[in-house]
Amino acid sequence: MQSPSRLVALDGIHNVRDLGGYARADGTETAWGRVYRACAQHRLSEQGVEKLHALGVATVVDLRSDAERQVMPSPFLDSSEASIVWVPLFDGLAPPTAMFETAPDLDLADRYIVALSECGANFRTVLTAIAEAPDAPLLFHCTAGKDRTGLIAALILSLAGVAAETIADDYGLTATLGKPLIDDLNARALERGSNPRTLAKFMASEPASMARVLAHLEASHGGARGYLAGTGMDDEALDRIGARLSAGAAAPVARLAETAP
């Protein structure tokens, strides 16, 4: 599962991962160096920014809220080499603490399913931006690189023909490859007085949670493609997203991903 190049080591941040190397239904694998899922970029050092430029990243899709962007500004705001697309993916969705404390039996899968139901227009905007982005490496991120990023990664990988079990395992890698970041976010939240039990639920990234979301999409919409078509996306755009991860896509400028732990 963990290729030596799965984790992209960048100075200042911990959870940037390449979506290449996953088996597809047609017998091929998703292409390396084409699409990256990531955490927030505000702590990225100048050297880290230079590495992403060297990887050829031309589009950065920011899924965070306006408040998050104000507190943690992107280092790509003034970049001449990468354009930023901002879509607050969970805009209008109740905070997770409110959701879990009022309904303690709910878990992250429930939150994700609610997000897909209530934020369909935002998902359409994000996936349309990815479909229309230049044919060059692309990076999308939220804050932890787990929830909003995990859902977008799941939809993209589904469109590329990757099996649900593999997608769920990719989601779960945040607990290991992204552990330094999750530990830091958890410690900061506890310092602010967050409920430890609620926080533990919110910070989790169990593959079973994403597996349940994918099963929901299959049962309710015929899969990720059916869900996105229901938001108004057309077949051509959906095909372009899947093709972005095909082996025939344009090669990245460089390959600087380091060995994953």
Sequence-ordered alpha helix ranges (H) in the chain: 46-54, 66-71, 96-102, 108-118, 120-132, 148-159, 164-172, 179-191, 196-203, 207-221, 224-230, 235-244
239 has a pLDDT exceeding 60: yes
pLDDT in the model for residue 258: 35
pLDDT in the model for residue 204: 81
Could you read off the pLDDT of 73-84 as tens digits, one per residue? Answer: 999 988 888 999
pTM of the model: 0.89
pLDDT category of residue 4 using cuts at 50, 70 and 90: very low
242 has a pLDDT exceeding 60: yes
pLDDT category of residue 106 using cuts at 50, 70 and 90: confident
Contacts 24+ apart (CB under 8 A), 89-92: 89/63, 89/115, 89/119, 89/122, 89/123, 89/126, 89/142, 89/148, 89/151, 89/152, 90/63, 90/65, 90/115, 90/119, 90/122, 90/147, 90/148, 91/65, 91/119, 91/122, 92/118, 92/119
Determine the Cα angle at 242 with ends 49 and 61, to 5°: 30
pLDDT in the model for residue 112: 96
pLDDT category of residue 251 using cuts at 50, 70 and 90: very low
pLDDT in the model for residue 189: 72
**To the nearest whole percent, how much of the chain has pLDDT over 70?**
90
Count CB neighbours of 219 within 10 A.
Answer: 9
247 has a pLDDT exceeding 70: no
pLDDT category of residue 100 using cuts at 50, 70 and 90: low
Could you read off the pLDDT of 111-167 as tens digits, one per residue? Answer: 999 999 999 999 999 999 999 999 999 999 999 999 999 999 999 999 999 999 999
pLDDT category of residue 254 using cuts at 50, 70 and 90: very low
